[in-house]
Amino acid sequence: MIKKGLFKQSLPVIIVMGVLLVLAVLGYRFMGEESFVRTALSGLTLGALYFMVAAGLTIIFGLMDVLNFAHGAMFMAGAYMGWQFYTNPTFLFGLLPLVLAFAAGLSSTSIWMPIVINWNLSTAWKKRINVALVVSSLVLIVLGFVKLDVLGLAETAMVAAMNAGNPLAEATAQEPLSVFWFRPLLLFISGLLLAISSARPGDKTQVVSSSKKWVPWLRLATLLVLTIIATLFRESAPIFVLQMDANLRFVLALIVGAGIGAGLGMIVEVSLIRPLYSRPFYIILLTLGLGYVLRETIQLLWDPVAYAMERPPLFSQPGKADTIFAWFSGHNLTIDILGVTFPSYRLFIIALGVLMLIALFIIMRFSRLGMIIRAGVQDREMVEALGINVKRVFSIVFGIGVGLAALGGIGAAPFVPVQPNMGDAYQMQGFITVVIGGMGSYGGAAIGALLLGMARAFGDFLALKFTLSPAIAEASTVVVMIIVLLVKPSGIFGKKE
């Protein structure tokens, strides 16, 4: 019975791989070895990029039933944050103290809750106090940014990009500490006010946890210490980063881009999406609007210009490596693969997609978080009945999903131009990938991304060979989706409702 069930689960993969094998043999026969290998490698590169977007989409939808139409914008935001860090991180370090101070204040919700829930307030006063706290918090945030040269901080990366040989050419002088110190203080107070509001003053129906009371205080103290350190070193830290090895800086850029994306995702889930779970149509409108706001903000900060991110030295040394093993010693710009000269960085994108798939598999199959997520997909109410904080899990899942998209964005930045609309095309392909693979299946997303990447690459080849319209190649991915849905409407790994 187990073998029969395993075979039934594996059947879609066997069929897809069989179809790909047949098409590969036909393609090799009629295209020739060089054209086939080059096109197949391009398809794998595109497939990896599609998977980076689709992986986040599918795990968010799988647990939360949320279609995030701002996912492409978050892919783009990750690219900008990673590009900014790698090129000149002055902007990020200039704003980091404010972000940490606000996070410190916001983290004190558990500290305030035992105090404020005992306030004797009428229903009317509960609403008035919450409104007053939120409005006061927003006012303090605005005051904290008044006359702060945010655009000047953002321009540092643009100037550094134009002076690639000397990234320290624009060592932006930030506000002196005697002027800057009040900004983190205002953001900290703003976070405190929101924390009090989140603790719901006067709401005695809440249950206050009696275990590990020291954890919120430790979290608050840690964030305050980090805020002080970030404030003191906000000028010297960018110089230190720019003087470090460029390969290490690139790795840190990947981490920073993914981390900022994850943080952004958690903030969006808590503040905007959580109140609308009972209104899914409103979530669609909200995320569409959020994507627009993110794109306009990026254009305001960095202008609607396409920037080229330099490839790290690990993938940019002159010459061609004869084999992949030879590349490890030479770090050449290109590698010879079966007689085809192929950029080494594109192989890195493929490897990054594979590593992302492996990491997702390990997390989902062998970690406690993965167990909770899989259980939540099957029966969300039961998971909550077991005492698991489902709201916190939702925030973590949304953060992971957006973080994966942001990681894909910074990974793609040295390969595609960094510009405000870079995420739109990948978002569309990401949704098609999720539909093909089956909603909520990260394994299906990987198979779907492979199919779409190959379809697009071979579609481009055929359009060029027979002088067809580029629109034919762009439509190839939609054709694949139509074929899959005609055969299996729920997607390759989808389950019937």
Give the three-class secondary structure for 317.
strand
Inform me whether the pLDDT recorded for 101 exceeds 90.
yes
Please count the structural domains in the chain.
1
**HEC per residue, 126-192:** HHHHHHHHHHHHHHHHHHHHCCCCHHHHHHHHHHHHHCCCCHHHCCCCCCCHHHHCHHHHHHHHHHH
1 domain-assigned:
no
Q: Please check whether residue 494 lies inside any domain of the structure.
A: no
Q: Residue 148 corresponds to which tokens in the numbers above?
A: 């702060």
Half-sphere exposure at residue 254, Cβ-oriented, CA atoms within 13 angstroms: 16
Sheet strands (E) in 178-292:
none
Quote the DSSP letter at residue 276: G
Report, in this order, helix, strand and coil percent for the chain, each rounded to 5.
Answer: 75, 5, 20
Which pLDDT belongs to residue 2? Answer: 47
* Average pLDDT rounded to a whole number, residues 113-130: 83
- Report the range of poorest mean pLDDT among 88-97, 411-420, 467-476, 483-492: 467-476
- Residue 24 is predicted with a pLDDT of 79
Q: What is the mean predicted confidence (pLDDT) over 335-353?
A: 90
Q: What is the DSSP letter of 417?
A: -
Specify if 10 maps to a domain: no
Alpha carbon distance 246, 395 (integer Å) = 33
The region that residue 387 occupies, defined by phi over 0 for left and psi between -120 and 50 for alpha, beta otherwise, is left
Q: Do the domain assignments include residue 59?
A: yes
Which residues, in sequence order, are CB contacts of 440 under 8 Å at separation 6+?
Answer: 58, 59, 61, 62, 63, 377, 494
Query: Which residues, in sequence order, are bridge partners of residue 332?
Result: 317
- Is the residue at 39 inside a domain? yes
Residue 392's pLDDT is 79
- Can you read off the two tokens belonging to residue 112? 């305030």
Six-digit token string for 309: 């991110």
Q: In this predicted structure, what is the pLDDT of residue 256? A: 94
- pLDDT value at residue 1: 47
Q: How far apart are CA 184 and CA 97, in angstroms?
A: 6
* Residue 8 counted as domain residue: no
The reply to whether 259 falls in a domain is yes
- Give the span between the Cα atoms of 315 and 311, in whole angstroms: 6
Q: Which residues contact 396 (CB under 8 A, 6 or more apart)?
A: 266, 369
pLDDT, mean over the chain: 85
Q: Amino acid letter at 240?
A: F
Looking at per-residue confidence, does 97 or 23 come out higher?
97
173-187, 288-302, 370-384: least confidently modelled range:
370-384
What does the pLDDT average to over 295-316?
A: 89
Give percent of the chain above pLDDT 90: 32
Write down the pTM of the prediction.
0.88
Average pLDDT rounded to a whole number, residues 444-458: 89
Q: What is the pLDDT of residue 132?
A: 92
pLDDT band at 143 (very low <50, low <70, confident <90, very high): very high
In terms of pLDDT, which residue wins out, 162 or 147? Answer: 147
pLDDT, greater one: 415 or 142: 142
Q: Which residue has the higher pLDDT, 108 or 208?
A: 108
- Residues 24-82: pLDDT tens digits? 777 777 888 888 888 999 999 999 999 988 988 888 887 777 888 999 999 999 999 99
Q: Determine the Cα–Cα distance for residues 170 and 368; give it in Å rounded to an integer.
A: 46
Q: 335 in helix, strand or coil?
A: strand
Q: Which two tokens stand for residue 210?
A: 């009696």
Tokens of 235: 């000028």
Q: Containing domain of residue 37, as a range?
A: 16-318+322-487
The per-residue pLDDT for 481 is 87
Residue 82 is predicted with a pLDDT of 92
Separation CA 196–CA 253 (nearest Å): 35
User: Model confidence at 144, in pLDDT bands (50, 70, 90)?
Assistant: very high
- For residue 418, list its beta bridge partners: 307
Task: Tell me: pLDDT of 359 over 80.
Answer: yes
Q: Which long-range contacts (CB under 8 A, 24 or more apart) does 477-486 make?
A: 477/429, 477/432, 477/452, 478/432, 479/455, 480/436, 480/451, 480/452, 480/455, 481/432, 481/435, 481/436, 484/436, 484/451, 485/435, 485/436
Q: Which of the 8 DSSP states describes residue 343?
A: E
Phi, psi of 337 (to 5 degrees): -125, 110
Whether the predicted pLDDT of 152 surpasses 80: yes
In this predicted structure, what is the pLDDT of residue 117? 82
Amino acid identity for residue 17 in this structure: M
Structure confidence at residue 198 (pLDDT): 82
Residue 166 has pLDDT above 60, yes or no: no
496 in a structural domain: no
The values of phi and psi at residue 147, to 5°, are: 65, 10
Closest CA to 116 of 199, 213, 215, 208: 199
Per-residue model confidence (pLDDT) at position 105: 92
Predicted confidence (pLDDT) per residue in 367-421, tens digit: 888 887 777 666 667 777 777 777 778 888 899 999 999 999 999 999 888 999 8
pLDDT band at 19 (very low <50, low <70, confident <90, very high): confident
